[in-house]
């Protein structure tokens, strides 16, 4: 959520800042702005507009070598020009951009009002600008002023601060919201995501919670809120500017759907062992003895990551014969959970920055739980907090609706289930069958993608529907939930997922000619029961879209989306790809803005 970009160097800041904001548009936002230090004054241009329109408003002719920029996702106050970032103090000396939420914002606002300062916006961020400006009257250092104010705030923040009277430096800080420094040649960059930096540098430094950094064109220094200097390690990120280019695709979601065969090949590369019928996951720091000692597995995620975690729990329990289940990370810490010392906890997050999942990890660590991460960003907060885990290798994902990261999450859980299973009772023969199926999975995904035109035709036929059911059993229940979520996210069609057996316990009351049902029918031991589900829906006049790799009676489906067989427990992955295309083409038929669905953000860094 929200995007921060900062620059200090010898170039012109404005075009660098605007390009950085463009790279962060995928995070979700409702307004945008920038602040430039021109002479000893700030030039602030901001509005409730997209980055493209902001670029037009900024225009040419700005030569300032330092500045800040921001895309805002509204928390305190509606998306208006006044509430857009950057925010300044009353004298226009200090500019602040901020991701996160201040929990004691009202207390700070009352303090400012009592001092005769009336904020002009509804935001919590503006309060920081006024407070920092007041601190500067009694200190010679912008860093010390920022530090003094941050000691007084409660809540999450990633901030960047510019003082017009010190136009050669920026001060940034984080606590719960990511900040990354980019190290250039005679110039320095700041961002909330490396996507804004890789066009200029691949050398980055990640700030930790409770850290500040003061950056100038040729140097940076970091310290804690307690003013103790810290030593940082420079990391070289393994993505480039080319990875973020759209190429010949009309939007990133379509591009990323089609990147999935390559992403899966990258995920399994070097990790499958046919000789011993197992998997090797180098990011796990636990040895074989420790991995065998776990008596249960608990997976935690939010949104798509939670649904994939449900499927992952099924895979682990089936192959390793260890009790496994999944829970929304957003609920975990609030129910005062009992932490099992003999359990392995797994935190799942595409971005590695999901606030609720990070909070669950921190709660687990406080209580002595053993937790690993499954993330797509190795330098992310969750990855660093866990210290051990599995990297997805999905590559950069830009569209808000996750596709290739979701698929690679499932693949990584399959490899973990295989590894744990082979340490226990999973036979060599069965293990080799899983290895073979994982090797064959990219080709099966390519076969689904080759059928895109047929899937698009089905989607367009049913794009009239204002509501849909997604129905699945056992392995296909999490897939149904993910399919319904995708449709909701990008098309705004009301979609709900149900277990097939639950239809008779209430939802059948909603079935009529205006409620299509997308029914997932796998070619497994439950085929007859799934055919009975189709009959129940058809008997009540409900249109049926069957997604299947089995032979079903022709009169029980109004449309059929066929997918290939891979492996009984891995077939749900190819069903997921088909549902991605189905949701995508409904949203396209409805003219939706695919990559930037309303009210949503890619990286959810607030509760």
**Catalytic machinery residues:** 2, 602
The partner residues of 545 in beta bridges, in order of sequence, read 518, 559
Q: How far apart are CA 3 and CA 16, in angstroms?
A: 14
How many Å is the Cα radius of gyration of the chain?
A: 25
Which residues sit opposite 6 in a β-bridge?
A: 68, 190
DSSP strand pairing (219-224 vs 211-216): antiparallel
Question: Cα separation of 356 and 362, whole Å?
Answer: 10
Cβ distance 605 to 156 under 8 Å? yes
Instruction: Using the CB atoms, write b or e for 294-311: b if 16+ within 10 Å.
Output: beebbbbbbbbbbbbbbb
d(CA 264, CA 439): 9
State the first-to-last Cα distance of the chain, in angstroms, to the nearest integer.
Answer: 11
Give the DSSP H/E element, type plus range, for residue 434.
Answer: helix 428-450
Map 308-373 to HEC letters: HHHHHHHHHHHHHCCCEEEEEHHHHHHHCCCCCCCEEEEEEECCCCCHHHHHHHHHHHHCCCEEEE
Cis geometry, peptide bond prior to residue 86 (ω within 30 degrees of 0)? yes
**CB count, 10 Å around CB of 81?**
12
Q: State how far the Cα of 504 lies from the Cα of 533, in Å rounded to an integer.
A: 9
In the three-class reduction of DSSP (H, G, I as helix; E, B as strand; rest coil), residue 483 is classed as helix
Residues in the chain: 607
Whether 301 and 348 have beta carbons less than 8 Å apart is answered as yes
| Structure tokens that stand for 398 in this block | 């830009």
From start to end of 30-156, where are the E strands? 31-38, 41-47, 66-72, 87-88, 94-99
Measured CA to CA, the distance from residue 530 to residue 532 in angstroms comes to: 5
Is residue 23 within 8 Å of residue 203, measured between CB atoms?
no
Give the closest residue to 81 by CA, choosing from 117, 127, 42, 45.
45
Beta carbons of 49 and 144 less than 8 angstroms apart: no
| The CA-based dihedral angle spanning residues 430, 431, 434, 438, taken in that order and rounded to the nearest 10 degrees | -160
User: 3-state class of 224 per DSSP?
Assistant: strand
Measured distance CA(67)–CA(163) in Å, rounded: 10
């Amino acid at each position: 959520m929200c995007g921060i970009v900062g620059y200090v160097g010898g170039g012109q800041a404005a075009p660098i800042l605007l390009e950085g904001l463009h790279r962060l548009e995928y995070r979700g936002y409702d307004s945008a702005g920038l602040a430039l230090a021109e002479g000893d004054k700030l030039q602030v241009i901001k509005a409730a507009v997209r980055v493209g329109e902001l670029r037009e408003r900024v225009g040419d002719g700005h030569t300032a070598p330092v500045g800040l920029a921001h895309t805002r996702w509204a928390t305190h106050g509606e998306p208006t020009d006044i509430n857009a970032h950057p925010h300044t103090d009353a004298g226009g000396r200090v500019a602040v951009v901020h991701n996160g939420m201040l929990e004691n914002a009202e207390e700070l606002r009352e303090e400012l009002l009592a001092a005769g300062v009336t904020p002009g916006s509804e935001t919590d961020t503006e309060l920081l600008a006024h407070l920092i400006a007041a601190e500067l009257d009694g200190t010679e250092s912008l860093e010390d002023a920022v530090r003094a104010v941050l000691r007084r705030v409660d809540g999450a923040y990633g901030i960047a601060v510019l003082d017009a009277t010190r136009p050669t430096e920026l001060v940034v800080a984080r606590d719960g919201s990511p900040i990354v420094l980019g190290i250039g040649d005679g110039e320095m960059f700041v961002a909330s995501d490396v996507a804004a930096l890789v066009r200029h540098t691949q050398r980055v430094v990640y700030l930790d919670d409770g850290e500040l950094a003061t950056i100038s064109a040729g140097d940076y220094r970091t310290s804690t809120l307690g003013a103790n200097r810290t030593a940082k390690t420079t990391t070289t990120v393994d993505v480039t500017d080319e990875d973020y280019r759209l190429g010949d695709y009309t939007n990133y979601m379509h591009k990323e759907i089609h990147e999935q065969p390559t992403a899966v090949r990258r995920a399994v590369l070097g990790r499958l062992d046919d000789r011993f019928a197992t998997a090797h996951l180098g990011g796990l720091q636990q040895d074989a003895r420790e991995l065998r000692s776990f008596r249960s597995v608990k997976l935690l995620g939010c949104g798509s990551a939670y649904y994939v975690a449900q499927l992952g729990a099924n895979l682990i329990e089936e192959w390793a014969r260890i009790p496994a289940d999944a829970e929304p990370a957003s609920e975990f810490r609030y129910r005062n959970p009992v932490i099992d010392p003999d359990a392995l906890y797994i935190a799942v997050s595409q971005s590695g920055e999901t606030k609720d999942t990070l909070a669950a990890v921190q709660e687990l660590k406080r209580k002595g739980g053993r937790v690993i991460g499954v993330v797509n960003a190795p330098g992310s907060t969750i990855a660093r907090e866990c210290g051990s885990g599995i990297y997805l290798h999905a590559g950069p994902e830009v569209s808000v609706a996750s596709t290739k990261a979701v698929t690679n999450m499932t693949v990584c859980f399959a490899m973990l289930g295989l590894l744990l299973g082979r340490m226990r009772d999973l036979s060599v023969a069965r293990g080799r069958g899983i290895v073979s199926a994982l090797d064959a999975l990219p080709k099966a995904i390519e076969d689904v993608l080759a059928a895109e035109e047929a899937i698009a035709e089905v989607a367009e036929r049913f794009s009239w529907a204002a509501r849909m059911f997604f129905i699945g059993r056992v392995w296909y229940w999490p897939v149904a939930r993910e399919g319904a979520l995708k449709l909701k996210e990008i098309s705004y069609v009301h979609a709900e997922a149900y277990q097939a057996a639950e239809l008779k316990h209430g939802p059948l009351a909603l079935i009529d000619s205006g409620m299509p049902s997308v029914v997932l029918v796998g070619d497994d031991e439950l085929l007859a029961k799934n055919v009975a589900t189709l009959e129940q829906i058809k008997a009540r006049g409900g249109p049926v879209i069957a997604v299947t790799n089995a032979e079903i009676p022709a009169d029980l489906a109004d449309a059929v989306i066929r997918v290939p067989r891979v492996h009984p427990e891995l077939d749900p992955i190819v069903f997921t790809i088909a549902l991605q295309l189905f949701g995508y083409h409904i949203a396209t038929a409805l003219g939706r803005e695919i990559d930037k669905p309303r009210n949503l953000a890619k990286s959810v860094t607030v509760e």
